[in-house]
Amino acid sequence: MEAKVKELGEQISKDYEGKQIHIICILKGGVFFACELAKRITVPVSMDFMAVSSYGSSQQSSGIVRIVKDLDEPLEGKDVLIVEDIIDSGRTLHHLCKILEQRKPASIHLCTLLDKPERRVRKEVTVDYRGFVIPDEFVVGYGLDYDQKYRNLPFIGVLEPEEE
């Protein structure tokens, strides 16, 4: 994991050479990854946090985004890097990007630690930087949770369903 985060930090630093990156960390799960990633980026970094919620059944996000915690700073003219823990359907991020684009940043790019492309419903969600592509399994650890548990695990593991 550490090697992959270092690799992502190096690539982002190279791609943003001469610029400042404004990282938007999507809470809560993204905070572990965003902090580790920011430490490995060599260009100037500013950081803000956003918490979003999607309406819909517990099985599937509708992708309609409700902002639970909005940004503290304006985005106009900034090179924005959205940092997420995991992307599956892409619905929430698709709508979030549309909302953020209205705030007139210079650019918006997306970085995720984990990507589940086989679950992607919104094909127009472009992941610019990805740590790992994973199969469609429920994972926890390193910020990812199940009912607010397991976020603090120092690794990512598959959560097995409970036997009845």
Active-site annotation, residues: 88
Residue 13 main-chain phi, psi, to 5 deg:
-60, -40
User: How many angstroms separate the CA atoms of 100 and 92, rounded?
Assistant: 12
Q: How far apart are CA 48 and CA 26, in angstroms?
A: 9
The Cα–Cα gap between 99 and 112 comes to 19
Residues paired with residue 139 on neighbouring β-strands, in sequence order: 158
**Angle in degrees, CA 116, 94, 58, rounded to 5:** 65
